[in-house]
Homo-oligomer: A and B are copies of this chain.
Amino acid sequence: MKETILHGNIISADEYGKITIYESGYIVAIDGHITFIGKVLPRECQAVSVDDYGDALIMQSLADMHLHAPQYPMLGMGMDLPLLEWLNTYTFPTESHFKDNDFARKTYHQFAHELVENGTTKVCMFSSLHREATLILMEELEKAGLVGYVGKVNMDRNGSPDLQETTQESITETIKWVKECHFEHIKPIITPRFTPSCTDELMQALGQIAQEYHLPIQSHLSENLSELAWVKALHPDCEQYWQTYQKYGLFNSRTLMAHCVWSDEKERQALKDSGVWVVHCASSNENLISGYAPVHKMREEGLKVVLGSDIAGGDHLSMFDNIAATIRASKARRIIDRWKTDFLTVSEAFYLATSAPNEFFNEKPGFALGNKLHALVIDDSELIAATKMTIEERFERCVYRRQKNAIKAVYSEGNLIFNRK
């Protein structure tokens, strides 16, 4: 039995838009599961050594629910290019490098550690189409202490000469990969790149694989207007984009769909009815001039929304950076909607990066009892203040200032996986 006890100013996003604060409080986890949260340490724990963070802030660690691991080497590059040129000049050539396992190992090792240093412990990500590099990625994430899902990408059309599979290869390699996955914390997820990248035959096979192996699904939906037109041309049989996934069994309550910037009322209703997860990627949508997803409206309509950095369309791995981007994007949306829709508050955006994804991982919001302990510790003592600040003010300031170096420690499933010296 392994006991973990943290002491500090604890912040828990128990409800959307509200945080619960335990000033100078304790969290106890036994074998990774939270068994206590409160201000007075239970008597039976008093003999156990405490990780005492004094006046620092302890909050939930972050979940990045959409990102492209093989685009890590091109982070922050080519942002002046239009989407298609950006894909051809940077994305496809960069991803094609992951046929080289040594390059994959070196890159993914650094990548996994940069995720952890930024306080991200839960992920759902795209690999490239390479089976071996995908297994390397999963292994590096597992070793770094992360939990979540990784998908070998499927693409049998509209790629590049260096980055495309035949339909048969794509199916065979996917099944082989699923069978080779043997990781405790990093699981496979079925990953058609997006409708323009996958023939109907491949889509059908992927739907069957997902069903047979009980796997979740991730893809892209309604990111920008030219993509919508392209999908329409490819699928005259489908009235709307989402139906190109749904007809092959790829659109259900275990599906994550990135973007949904241009999902209209009807598509949003379909997302809601099917229980599909919307992964909002504000930074990427800003950089690629995709548009501003109506996140506030989606929440009001009852859709499930989580956040993704979407590197390398997004330019930062830090989910604090992406929380700030989410707030900004909601403010841009407010201007576009002529001040008729509301923006997201700091607590609301933080919830989308922490408690909302808990449900995808079958957990409750916040540091709920029974949840696995995923936490980060922030030391803001170097920041100057004019008056004594409340914990809530300090929380907001830390989210906004998003200083990577302020993250002093990161816990995943109760284990200390990062400790800044």
**Could you tell me which A residues sit within 8 Å of B by CB distance?**
72-80, 93-94, 97, 103, 106-107, 110-111, 286-287, 289, 291-292, 315-316, 324, 327-328, 331-332, 334-336, 339, 343, 345-346, 383-387, 393, 396-401, 405
User: Measured between C-beta atoms, what is the minimum distance from A83 to chain B in Å?
Assistant: 12
* 14 residue pairs from A and B, CB less than 8 Å apart: A77-B397, A79-B346, A79-B400, A93-B387, A94-B386, A107-B384, A286-B328, A286-B331, A287-B331, A289-B331, A289-B334, A316-B401, A328-B328, A332-B335
Report the Cα distance A314→B77, complex, angstroms.
Answer: 24
Given A396-B76, A400-B76, are A93 and B287 also a contact pair (CB < 8 Å)? no
Report the Cα distance A111→B384, complex, angstroms.
Answer: 9
Report the Cα distance A292→B334, complex, angstroms.
Answer: 12
Report the Cα distance A94→B389, complex, angstroms.
Answer: 12
Q: Are A335 and B386 in contact (CB under 8 A)?
A: no
Q: Are A335 and B77 in contact (CB under 8 A)?
A: no
Closest to A399 in B: B76
Q: Are B79 and A401 in contact (CB under 8 A)?
A: no
Report the Cα distance A232→B381, complex, angstroms.
Answer: 44
Given the complex, which residues of B lie within 8 Å of A387, measured CB to CB? 93-94, 97
User: Measured between C-beta atoms, what is the minimum distance from A319 to chain B in Å?
Assistant: 16
Closest to A385 in B: B73
A interface majority secondary structure: helix
Closest to A343 in B: B289
Closest to A394 in B: B77
User: Measured between C-beta atoms, what is the minimum distance from A385 to chain B in Å?
Assistant: 5
Q: Count identical subunits in the complex.
A: 2
| Among B97, B315, B331, contact of A324 (Cβ-Cβ < 8 Å) | B315
Given the complex, which residues of B lie within 8 Å of A328, measured CB to CB? 286-287, 328
Report the Cα distance A413→B68, complex, angstroms.
Answer: 43
Report the Cα distance A266→B346, complex, angstroms.
Answer: 38
Q: Are B400 and A315 in contact (CB under 8 A)?
A: yes
User: Measured between C-beta atoms, what is the minimum distance from A172 to chain B in Å?
Assistant: 27
Q: Are A384 and B106 in contact (CB under 8 A)?
A: yes
| Among B286, B335, B383, contact of A291 (Cβ-Cβ < 8 Å) | B335
Given the complex, which residues of B lie within 8 Å of A324, measured CB to CB? 315
User: Measured between C-beta atoms, what is the minimum distance from A193 to chain B in Å?
Assistant: 19
Given the complex, which residues of B lie within 8 Å of A385, measured CB to CB? 73
User: Measured between C-beta atoms, what is the minimum distance from A259 to chain B in Å?
Assistant: 15
User: Measured between C-beta atoms, what is the minimum distance from A163 to chain B in Å?
Assistant: 12
Given the complex, which residues of B lie within 8 Å of A339, measured CB to CB? 289
Report the Cα distance A29→B209, complex, angstroms.
Answer: 66
User: Measured between C-beta atoms, what is the minimum distance from A77 to chain B in Å?
Assistant: 5
| Among B287, B292, B397, B399, contact of A75 (Cβ-Cβ < 8 Å) | B397
Given the complex, which residues of B lie within 8 Å of A400, measured CB to CB? 75-77, 79, 315
Q: Are B336 and A335 in contact (CB under 8 A)?
A: yes
Given A332-B332, A386-B93, are A327 and B73 also a contact pair (CB < 8 Å)? no
Q: Are A336 and B336 in contact (CB under 8 A)?
A: yes
Given A315-B401, A316-B401, A332-B332, are A384 and B73 also a contact pair (CB < 8 Å)? yes
Q: Are B94 and A401 in contact (CB under 8 A)?
A: no
User: Measured between C-beta atoms, what is the minimum distance from A346 to chain B in Å?
Assistant: 6
Q: Counting chain B CB atoms within 10 Å of each CB, which of A107, A383, A400 scores highest?
A: A400
User: Measured between C-beta atoms, what is the minimum distance from A131 to chain B in Å?
Assistant: 19
Given the complex, which residues of B lie within 8 Å of A397, measured CB to CB? 75-77
